[in-house]
Chains A and B, each alone.
Chain A
């Protein structure tokens, strides 16, 4: 079955500290992988995407993610968190040939301590 798991429901980090949000997927076809961010009461904003090529992808707002096929993971990282990064983060997997449908993880809520 196709699925995305974000093991951490809620993470709290101190401002300036590094961040890693975990994402594991189960997908039969070659996956396209995405990270989205959602601020309270807002829609989803695309942070970054991986289709092929270099397994380390850079996104907006200083985020990066690394695709590890052997571990079926696509973890999101940021070297230094800012208070404005507090939001909910969603990992998603999809396939272009399947109409671009996305399967989402449950989300990880990030809180940032001053």
Chain B
């Protein structure tokens, strides 16, 4: 039981490049989330999904897109990376009442 996994762990992009972060969970959770963590700001919700085929905007969605084609996967896309998107990205999943479980994070640097 791997829990929540994220790919890749580290990535460096140049401004304007695109990339996709992959999140997978094996706990059969309905809800999945993408957060970003910046120093002194805690974690902020980018997008989330309440079930396969659904997505919704969180607190800071601009510049990101997501897809949830399969229940166990939640993809976060950056179409044109900007230095302001340099951050640590965390995926999480939840069944609601049992709590939210986080992946190990992806450290992204945009030059």
Q: Mark B67-111, 1 if CB is under 8 A from A, else 0.
A: 000000000000000000000001010101101111111000000
Known contacts: A43-B90, A44-B90. The answer to whether A90 contacts B99 by CB under 8 A is no
Q: Given the complex, which residues of B lie within 8 Å of A49, measured CB to CB? A: 99
Evaluate contact between B97 and A43: CB separation under 8 angstroms.
Answer: no
Interface of A is mostly: strand
Q: How far is the CB of B37 from chain A (nearest CB, A)?
A: 9
Which stretch in A14-22, A61-69, A78-86, A101-109 binds the other chain? A101-109
Interface of B is mostly: strand
Residue of A nearest to B45 (CB): A101
Bound CA–CA A113/B92 (angstroms): 33
What is the size, in residues, of chain A's interface with B at 8 Å between Cβ atoms? 24
Bound CA–CA A49/B96 (angstroms): 12
Interface residue from A4, A44, A99 paired with B50 (Cβ < 8 Å): A99
Q: How far is the CB of A5 from chain B (nearest CB, A)?
A: 10
Evaluate contact between B42 and A106: CB separation under 8 angstroms.
Answer: yes
> Quick check: is A53 within 8 A (CB to CB) of the other chain?
no
Bound CA–CA A46/B97 (angstroms): 13
Residue of A nearest to B49 (CB): A99
Q: How far is the CB of B99 from chain A (nearest CB, A)?
A: 5
Q: Given the complex, which residues of A lie within 8 Å of B101, measured CB to CB? A: 46
Interface residue from B40, B58, B99, B103 paired with A101 (Cβ < 8 Å): B58
Q: How far is the CB of B46 from chain A (nearest CB, A)?
A: 11
Q: How far is the CB of B85 from chain A (nearest CB, A)?
A: 19
Evaluate contact between B99 and A34: CB separation under 8 angstroms.
Answer: yes
Query: What 13 additional pairs, Cβ within 8 angstroms, besides A46-B99, A99-B50?
Result: A9-B40, A46-B101, A51-B97, A92-B100, A100-B94, A101-B58, A102-B33, A102-B43, A102-B92, A102-B100, A106-B41, A106-B42, A107-B40
What 8 pairs between A and B have smallest CB-CB spacing?
A104-B42, A44-B102, A100-B94, A104-B43, A96-B96, A43-B102, A43-B104, A100-B31
Residues of A within 8 A of B (CB): 4, 9, 34, 36, 42-46, 49, 51, 90, 92, 94, 96, 99-107
